[in-house]
Amino acid sequence: MKKMLLASNNVGKQREIQSLLDDLDIELITPDNLDLHLEVLEDGITYAENAARKAMAFARASGLVALADDSGLEVDALGGAPGLHSARYSPITGATDADRRTFLLQQLQSHPRPWPARFRCFVALANPAGQVWFADGECPGEIIPEERGHNGFGYDPIFLLPDLGLTMAELTLEQKNHLSHRARAVTAARPVLLKLSSPAPH
């Protein structure tokens, strides 16, 4: 494997994953590079299942090893919600990230602070033959009622890392690549990536 497909149309995710893997001797391809337009139904009951569905669909469509992730925000006061539904956590059709953050904060108004939470991420690597490998990562923190920072996406502006006193959206990309749930999952997947990208012995 000298090329790998990032099985996501999310530009923020693409940027993060590319920066995490740019030291490897692998050419990272995006769906746009291949003019590949796939919509994979994410109706699995776990992050791992959703990530695997995306990775396998993109691997089969492209003939390349594909990396997909599924991640979510889990807030203790909401019983772990939005969780698997983080990307669709708003009653508004065509909701933006800002809409989802606003809706989440509305759901938390009746709960006392602090609002402990965690980001979770599962990465799936799939080859066109249907083999799948997994890795996961987690980042603990808490939700705050005001948005801070402009460097992230999703729920990053309201997700505080208490030890740093910064939200995920206030971190530099370098800091995020040490601390985030996605960074931890992708880092955990590196041994598999290295194995898959090594030339086969003759």
pLDDT tens digits for range 152-176: 889 999 999 999 999 999 999 889 8
DSSP string over 125-193: EE-TTS-EEEEEEEEEEEE-SS---SS--TTGGGEEETTTTEEGGGS-HHHHHHHSHHHHHHHHHHHHH
Its pTM surpasses 0.85: yes
**Residue (of 18, 32, 40, 29) closest to 65 by Cα position:** 29
Q: Which helix (H) or strand (E) holds 103?
A: helix 97-108
**Residue (of 80, 103, 81) closest to 92 by Cα position:** 103
Query: Residue 69 and residue 92: Cα distance in Å, rounded?
Result: 24
The interaxial angle of helices 181-197 and 11-21, nearest 10 deg, is: 60
pLDDT confidence tier of residue 141, bands split at 50, 70 and 90: very high
Kindly report whether the peptide bond that precedes residue 112 is cis, defined as omega within 30 degrees of 0: no
Amino acid symbol at 70: D
Domains of the chain and any CATH numbers? 3-197 (3.90.950.10)
Tens digits of per-residue pLDDT, 78-130?
999 999 999 889 999 899 999 999 999 999 999 999 999 999 999 999 999 99
Query: Residue 105 and residue 21: Cα distance in Å, rounded?
Result: 34
pLDDT confidence tier of residue 1, bands split at 50, 70 and 90: low
pLDDT recorded at residue 87: 87
Which one is catalytic: 70, 76, 99, 136? 70
pLDDT recorded at residue 202: 45
- Residue 25 a catalytic site member: no
Tens digits of per-residue pLDDT, 3-35?
899 998 888 788 888 888 888 888 899 999 999
Tens digits of per-residue pLDDT, 31-71?
999 999 888 888 889 999 999 999 999 999 999 999 999 99
pLDDT recorded at residue 199: 57
pLDDT recorded at residue 200: 55
SS3 69: strand
pLDDT at 149 > cutoff 60:
yes
